[in-house]
Amino acid sequence: MAAPAFLQRFHLWPRTLRARLFVILLAGLTIAHAMSFTVLFSERYLAAKSMMFKRLENDVATSIAILDRLPAAERAEWLDGLDRGTYRFVLGRGIPGSPALDPANAEIASRIQSAIGAKYPIDVESIPGGSRRLQAHLTLSDGAPLTIDVNPAAIMPLADWLPYVLIAQLCLLVLCSWLAVHQAIRPLADLARAADTLDPNRKTPRLSEAGPSEVAYAATAFNAMRDRIAQYLEERVQILAAISHDLQTPITRMKLRAEMADDSADRHKLIQDLGEIERLVKEGVAYARSAHGNVEKASRIDLVSFAESLAYDYQDTGKAVTVGEASGGAVLTRPHALRRILTNLIDNALKFADSAEIEVHQLTEETVIKVLDRGPGIPESQLEAVLKPFFRLEQSRNRNTGGTGLGLAIAHQLATAIGASLILCNRSGGGLSAEVAIRR
């Protein structure tokens, strides 16, 4: 939605679609309401002005005739009764003014003169001041001066309650505009939120298909797209798992035949290559299974005890795995998947640093498990790339050239499957910190 040039220049155009629609709708309704009020006010003003002219022509001649026939001592008593709001009679010369009249005052002067006729010579003058006002001066039969004080501004005075009504109408316009924009934007916001949290591997609620036909159609299309993506991913995982599984049998036969062959350098190399292939196949099967980490039933475990148990298992095999700072409580998670995540991270630390340290930190909304090492670390530009399948960093973490590039990918995919997050960051002083955050 393009904005006018001057609004863009002065940064007055809102950035959100909700605010833009609200401004446009409110401005349009306000302008339309103002135009309707102006038209209605003008029509009423013209009607009141026409009525004033008719009353002026009919009443002036009669009022002057009455005052002319009354004794001079009784005329003052009649002035209040002859007051019409837009004009009144004043005994005396009135206020000196200017004979120059604008077109509107000239029209009033001509009406007064035509109503009085030639019997009473009359002079009409504009009275100085902020308001539009004029006075007609004439002389009665006995020589007494009389002034007709005309105030056109009082033709249609505004009521005291009118500003409150206008404010109430403006508030109603704001409320209706906000409700209309909210109803129009809410489905779009729901769609954006669903797209942002789209994960075919997790059983997230489907987008509601209720509402207007256009909204229902978009929601139906989005749900169908999510189902297709989930189906494609399922097929790819099944293909990978099937290939990896089917390869294990011929690899096992080849290893048996190689072990039964005569002892030679080629035999040992062949057995070593077959071992690497077998390990790669097993990692492929593990990666395929990691996509379904949410199949395991969740249970509540104490993370500190869980980390200590894991460290003791490694210590029993002679590995330098320790538990550092640990503070936390019980969380609801999938323990087997979490154990596989931490095992992959610890194995990665042992491979490149010969030691690993586990820390557990209890935060406000989540519990963070850290696997720390003092290895060579990972370049900042590749911290996210190492979480992708089959990505290896042999040059930067060159203690060994082995590895399939699936360890961290499996840990990352399992973390996503159980509703956690895996973040890698380099430590000050060297080394890597792998952090698994589990929401409580």
Residue 181 lies in a domain: no
Instruction: Report which of residues 412 and 292 the model is more confident about.
Output: 412
CB 44 within 8 A of CB 25: no
Q: Are residues 326 and 400 in the same domain?
A: yes
Of 259, 287, 315, the last residue of a domain is: 287
pLDDT of the residue at 396? 44
Q: Which domain holds residue 361?
A: 296-439
CB 194 within 8 A of CB 222: yes
Which CATH number do you get for residue 373? 3.30.565.10
Q: Are residues 101 and 131 in the same domain?
A: yes
Residue 429 lies in a domain: yes
Q: Are residues 109 and 67 in the same domain?
A: yes
Residue 11 lies in a domain: no
Which CATH number do you get for residue 113? 3.30.450.300
Of 287, 305, 327, the last residue of a domain is: 287
What is the pLDDT confidence band of residue 291, given thresholds at 50, 70 and 90?
low
What is the pLDDT confidence band of residue 426, given thresholds at 50, 70 and 90?
very high
Residue 374 lies in a domain: yes
Name the DSSP class of 400: -
Of 237, 261, 287, the last residue of a domain is: 287
- Domain total of the chain: 3
User: DSSP 3-state helix, strand, coil percentages of the chain (rounded to 5)?
Assistant: 55, 15, 30
Residue 142 lies in a domain: yes
Q: How far apart are CA 230 and CA 216, in angstroms?
A: 21
Percentage of residues of the chain with pLDDT beyond 90: 9
Q: Are residues 150 and 53 in the same domain?
A: yes
What does the pLDDT look like over 324-368, one tens digit per residue? 888 877 888 888 888 888 998 999 899 888 899 999 988 888 889
Residue 80 lies in a domain: yes
Residue 255 lies in a domain: yes
Lowest pLDDT segment from 26-35, 96-105, 221-230: 96-105
Residue 328 lies in a domain: yes
Q: What contacts 99, CB < 8 A, 6 or more positions away?
A: 123, 124, 125, 126
What does the pLDDT look like over 199-224, one tens digit per residue? 665 667 777 777 777 777 888 888 88
What does the pLDDT look like over 167-188, one tens digit per residue? 888 888 888 888 887 777 777 7
Q: Give the CA dihedral 412, 413, 414, 416, nearest 10 degrees.
A: 90
Helices 213-260 and 162-196, packing angle to 10 deg: 20
Across the chain, mean pLDDT equals 78
Q: Are residues 400 and 316 in the same domain?
A: yes
Q: Are residues 221 and 279 in the same domain?
A: yes
Q: Are residues 253 and 324 in the same domain?
A: no
